[in-house]
Structure 1
C-alpha cells in the first residue's frame, strides 16, 4: 500500500491546482479529474460538477457498500484539491510542484494542505471497495475552492437533498507525532472592514489640530469599545450563547501541550497575565476580537479625514455569528464621537461548529483511531474556522474532523511538507473509521 499511495500522491502533487490567483484553469480541472478517475477505477461513480459561474469544479462521487448497500449507513468524505500559490519560489529547497522525499517527509505545495492529508482517506475508501469489503456507502466530495472561499461546496451541500449519516473531514492535524486528535469544535468568524469619516478632506494639523475631528482618534474611540479588557475577555454582549466544553473534552486536554509551550512555539507573547494558563480553553471555546489592520493618514502633519480598519471576531461554538457580528458593528458605531460616520466596506461571515465528544459518531471515531494509532485521540477545539464543517453542522450531519499533519508541517509556506508516517497512519485510521461507522446501521 505505502509505495502505491506515495506514487499516487506524487502524481496528484505534480498538478499545480492553484486557486488563489494566477492558477491555470486547465490544471485545476486536471487535478479534479485525477480524483474522479480514482473513484471510477474502484468501481464507483464520479463527475465534475460546476455549481456557479466562474467556480472551480467539484468532484462528486459515490462508492456503494460492498453488500446490503440499500440499508448500509452513508458516510460523506471531504477534502480539497486546490492549493495556495507557491511564491516566493526562491525560498523552496526544491521546486514546489516537483515532490521529493527528504528525512521522512514529502515536500511539495499541497503535501499537507490538503492533498497529502486527504488522499489516505480517499485511497482507503477506494481500496475497501476494490476488495469487496466496504461496509458503508461513501459519498465523495472534493472541492477546488477551499483556499479561495469555498462557495461552490457550500452551495452544493445546501442544495443536496440526500445528506449522510456521518462525515469525515481530513483537513486538520495531530497534537504531536505520538498523539492524534479529533477536532470537535471550531470557532466561527465575522470579518469586517469599515471606514470612519471625520471630515471632507485631510486637514493641516497646525491650522486645525485640536479643533477638527480626527478620523484616527474617532476610530480608536470606536475600537476601544470592543477590544478585550485587562483580563483578555471581550464584553459580555459579545460572549452571548457560548457553549462550554464538555467534561470529556476537558479530560482529553490533559495530554495537550501547555498553553505556554504553544505560545512559545509561535513566538507569541501572552496578551494578559494568565493567558498561557487559559490558552487551551480560550483558544477554541471563547470569543476573541482582534484589530487586524488600520490604514489612515501619512507621515506628514495631517489630520486624516478617513480611517479604515479591519476587525475580526472569532465566535465560539454555540454563538450566532450573524447576531454577534451585528452586535460588534453596533458597539463600534455607537462609540464613535459625534460627527464621525462609519461605513462598512466589506464583511465575511463563517459560523462556528461543535460536535459533542460523547455522541455516537465521535465515540466510534475515537475507538477507530485508537485501534489504528495505538493511543486514544485527544478531543480538541480549534480557534480557526473550516466553513464546510460549519455547513455540515448546520445540516445536522455528525462530522469527524481529523487529519495527520504534524505541528511543524508548514501550511501555505515554502517547503510545505507531510510526513510519511502521517500518510501511513492516515490510511490505517481511514480504514478503521469507515469500518467502524458500519455500527451506525445496527
Structure 2
C-alpha cells in the first residue's frame, strides 16, 4: 500500500502540472458544438471526437474510434504497471444537449468569469471527463497506473447511447471496476456517490383529427379538438404512473437542494421520494395549432416518464400506451412512438470500493463522498454494468448547481483542480484495493452499504469513520 501511496503522490504532481494547459484545451473542446442526434451537428460531433483522440494519443498505448449510426465512440487503453490484473474502465461522453435559449454568454464560445467557465458541456460532461483524462495522463507520466485503464468516450450519451453496447463488446480484457463522473456534487465542495437512478421511458403521442384548422366560432363544438383529447390522454397516463409502487430510499436526501435548484413552484410532500424513488411523468414538449381563433388539426406531446430504480420499463410501457390510446374518439387517430427506454440502477458497492471512493474524495476535496439517490437516468450505466458485471462508481464532481441541460451551464475551475486530484486517487485506489479473494476491488458484491459508510448524519459515527480513513484504515 505504501508503494501505491507513493505512486499516487507522484501522479498527482504530474497531473497538477497539466491543469493550466488542460483548462485552455477544455475551452477549445467546449467551442465544438457536439450536439448528438442533430444532423446539422453531426460533423461537429466527429470533430469533437478527433479533438479528444489527439489528446489521448499523447499518453495512451492504443486509441480506436468506433463509428456507429448515432455517433463515434472512442476507446483508449492506457498501459498499467501490472497488466495481469483486471483493468479499470473510465467512462464519459463528449456529446452535449442543444443550447436552448436564455444564455447570458454564448453557449459555444466559452467565457471565463473568475473561477467559473461558462459553456455548453462545461460540466456535462466535457469538464468532468477531462478531470479523469488529466488524472490518467498524470499516472502515465510516472510509469503508468497500477493496472490498465480503458477509457470509453461516448459520442451519443445524451440520446441514450444507442451504439455503446456494441462498442463495449470490443473490450476483451478482464475489468475490475468501472468509474464515471457525469453527475453533480451533493453540495458545494462535497462530491456525491450516486447509488441509485430511476429508469426512463420517453414517448411521443399525437392526436390527429384530419382536415385543416377551422374557425373556432363557426365550428367549435362540432369538430373534435385534438388538444382536449390529448389532455385527457395525458391525464389517464398520469394516473397509471401515480399508481406505480415506490422503491425504498437508498441514500441521503436532497429535498432542500431540489427546492433551491428548481427556482419555481414545487409540489408539497417529500421531494426526495418524489424525485428519486417514485415514478413521475413530465410533458417536455406540447404542440398544437398556431393560428389564433382556429381549432387545430393535431396536437402532440413528448413525455418523459421516470420509474423507480428497481422497476422494469418493459412492464410499464404497455399500460402507458393503452392509457394514451383509450377513450379517444374513434374518428380521431392516436399515434404513440417510443423514444428511448432504460432500466434504473441500484448499486451495492462493497466496503472496500466505498473506502477507495471516500479516500479519493478526501484527497481531492477534503471531504468524503455523500451517498445520494438520483432522479436522473443514464442508460449507459446499465450497459456498462451488463458488459462488465460491476456496478459503476458514479462519482459526482460537477458543481452542485451546474445548470446542465439549461442556460449558463458552468464548471468551477477550482473544483476542476480538486476533481483531478480525486480522479488520480480513485484510479490508484480502486484498482489496488484488495477484493474478497485478494483480487482488485469489485464494483458489486462484498459488504453492502451499511450505516458506517452512509455518512448521513450520525456525527460521532462519521467522525470515527473518517479518522480511520485518514489514518489509513478501512
Q: Same fold (TM over 0.5)?
A: yes
Shift of 1:435: 1.8
Conserved 8 A contact 2:34-2:48? no
Q: 2:157 aligns with which of 134, 138, 146?
A: 146
- The runs of 4+ residues in structure 1 deviating greater than 6 Å are 87-90
Structure 2 Cα separation of the partners of residues 77 and 137 of structure 1: 11
Q: 1:245 aligns with which of 226, 245, 249?
A: 249
Shift of 1:182: 0.9
Trace 1:109-148 onto structure 2 (pairs within 5 A).
Answer: 109-132=120-143, 134-148=145-159
1:45 aligns with 2:56: no
1:173 match: 184
The 10-residue stretch of structure 1 (58-67 or 127-136) with the greater mean CA deviation from structure 2: 127-136
Structure 1 Cα separation of the partners of residues 323 and 100 of structure 2: 39
Structure 2 Cα separation of the partners of residues 345 and 267 of structure 1: 32
TM-score by structure 1 length?
Answer: 0.82
1:103 aligns with 2:114: yes
Structure 1 Cα separation of the partners of residues 354 and 420 of structure 2: 18
1:57 aligns with 2:72: yes
Inter-CA distance 335–381: structure 2 relative to 1 (3 Å threshold): farther
Shift of 1:112: 1.7
Shift of 1:109: 4.1
The 10-residue stretch of structure 1 (397-406 or 38-47) with the greater mean CA deviation from structure 2: 38-47
Structure 2 Cα separation of the partners of residues 413 and 401 of structure 1: 22
Q: Secondary structure at the match of 2:184?
A: coil
Inter-CA distance 366–337: structure 2 relative to 1 (3 Å threshold): farther
Structure 1 Cα separation of the partners of residues 163 and 47 of structure 2: 18
Q: Secondary structure at the match of 2:371?
A: strand
Inter-CA distance 343–83: structure 2 relative to 1 (3 Å threshold): closer
Q: Secondary structure at the match of 2:175?
A: coil
Shift of 1:333: 1.6
Conserved 8 A contact 1:221-1:337? no
Shift of 1:287: 0.4
Conserved 8 A contact 2:78-2:144? no
Structure 2 Cα separation of the partners of residues 208 and 83 of structure 1: 45
Structure 2 Cα separation of the partners of residues 96 and 297 of structure 1: 33
TM-score by structure 2 length?
Answer: 0.77
Shift of 1:399: 0.4
Structure 2, unmatched stretches of 5+, are 1-14, 441-474
Inter-CA distance 196–96: structure 2 relative to 1 (3 Å threshold): closer
Q: Secondary structure at the match of 1:216?
A: helix
Trace 1:25-424 onto structure 2 (pairs within 5 A).
Answer: 25=43, 28-42=45-59, 44-50=61-67, 52-53=68-69, 55-67=70-82, 69-70=83-84, 72-84=85-97, 91-92=104-105, 96-97=108-109, 100=112, 102-132=113-143, 134-157=145-168, 160-162=171-173, 164-198=175-209, 202=213, 209-210=220-221, 212-227=223-238, 234-236=241-243, 239=244, 243-246=247-250, 249=251, 252-253=252-253, 256=254, 259-271=255-267, 273-274=268-269, 278-297=270-289, 302-356=294-348, 361-395=353-387, 396-412=389-405, 415-424=408-417
Structure 1, unmatched stretches of 5+, are none
Structure 2 Cα separation of the partners of residues 234 and 34 of structure 1: 43
1:5 match: 19
Matched residue count:
416
